Amino acid sequence: MPSDEQLAVDLLARTDYGRVATSMRALPFLAFARHIVVDGRVLLRLPRGVGYHRACIGHVVAYGADNLSSARSGEGLWSVHVVGACTRHDPTPAELERFGPAPRVVDGEPYEPVYLRVEPQFGTVHSTGGALESHFAHMP
């Protein structure tokens, strides 16, 4: 991938958490997720108990993250979104280690993780302060 098209995925690799967006029963929703980037793919860890993974698997999803609350003084703000097909994923031991420890409880229920993979096809990056150029790129 040319460097301009890789920017969206590279920026995702700078953060730990983001939001996955799709629709369930014709209604849009956003769900938080832990993510890692492996070989240009975005791997997600979501809580199984809320069932959002069922709406994601086998469908196109959007996944986004930003540095809006973590930018250092003088650092430009950025927001990134990738769009792609989502499938179930069985993480390797190395990937599980990169995800780090899972929470014990989510929404008052014991946490059971489910892992998904997003194959980015499109990415958008928006930024302030001239740190990055806003662009929309097709990622083969």
**So what CATH class is 3-138?**
mainly beta
The domain locations on the chain are: 3-138
Burial (Cβ within 10 Å: 0-12, 13-18, ≥19) of residue 33? buried
pLDDT of residue 8: 86
Q: Which helix (H) or strand (E) holds 119?
A: strand 113-127
pLDDT of residue 9: 87
Distances (CA, A) of 53 to 48, 74, 86, 88, 134: 7, 37, 9, 8, 30
Beta bridge partners of 10: none
Confidence (pTM): 0.87
Please tell me whether residue 7 adopts helix, strand or coil conformation: helix
Mean pLDDT, the chain cut into blocks of 10 residues (140 residues total): 64 93 90 96 94 94 92 84 96 98 93 96 83 45
Query: For residue 52, which amino acid is it?
Result: Y
**Three-point CA angle 120, 96, 115, nearest 5°:** 50
pLDDT of residue 136: 36
